Structure 1
């Protein structure tokens, strides 16, 4: 995983975002690394991702989120940290 020391810019961090099911289909990938401003929150990340298009915005709005395997409220204003992993989990059908 890349960290801010590798980017050479202390104002940036790198997050690993993993998409599942409908979120992966809407994002067009199962995972990606995003270089973002230090201090980005999960709420801010959701806004950024939703701005990528209507299909992704729909999924982002109804998804649950894990930050480093811990369930996190989608409107969380806690700052994400360099190297964090965010999982985007849309509602799943079945049982």
Structure 2
């Protein structure tokens, strides 16, 4: 198990009601499940599911989310942005 820190941006931050949160997990997918469980709200879940995730600066693929973690990890949660 390792520390996974989620940094929430824009609408994700508003839905989470916090700028960041840290959980212990073996994979990013497990960490994401833990965060979703902590925030038992439909709005939060919808925002997270629609967001892009960057894992240590790399766009998250399904394989990356399930890869065993080797050390502390940072996940940036970037919801869809409007405007131009």
TM-score bucket of the superposed structures, by smaller chain: 0.7 to 0.9
| Ranges in structure 1 where 5+ consecutive residues have no aligned partner | 1-11
Partner of 1:21: 10
Please tell me whether residue 62 in structure 1 is matched to residue 70 in structure 2: no
- Give aligned pairs, total: 81
* Larger helix proportion of the pair: 2
Q: Are the aligned partners of 1:46 and 1:60 in contact in 2 as well (CA < 8 Å)? A: no
Other structure's SS at 1:60 match: helix
Q: TM-score by structure 2 length? A: 0.79
Structure 1 residue ranges (4+ consecutive) displaced by more than 3 angstroms after TM superposition: none
- Name the larger-Rg structure: 1
Q: TM-score by structure 1 length? A: 0.71
Q: CA separation in 2, counterparts of 1:25 and 1:74?
A: 26
Other structure's SS at 1:24 match: helix
Q: CA separation in 2, counterparts of 1:78 and 1:59?
A: 23
| Ranges in structure 2 where 5+ consecutive residues have no aligned partner | none
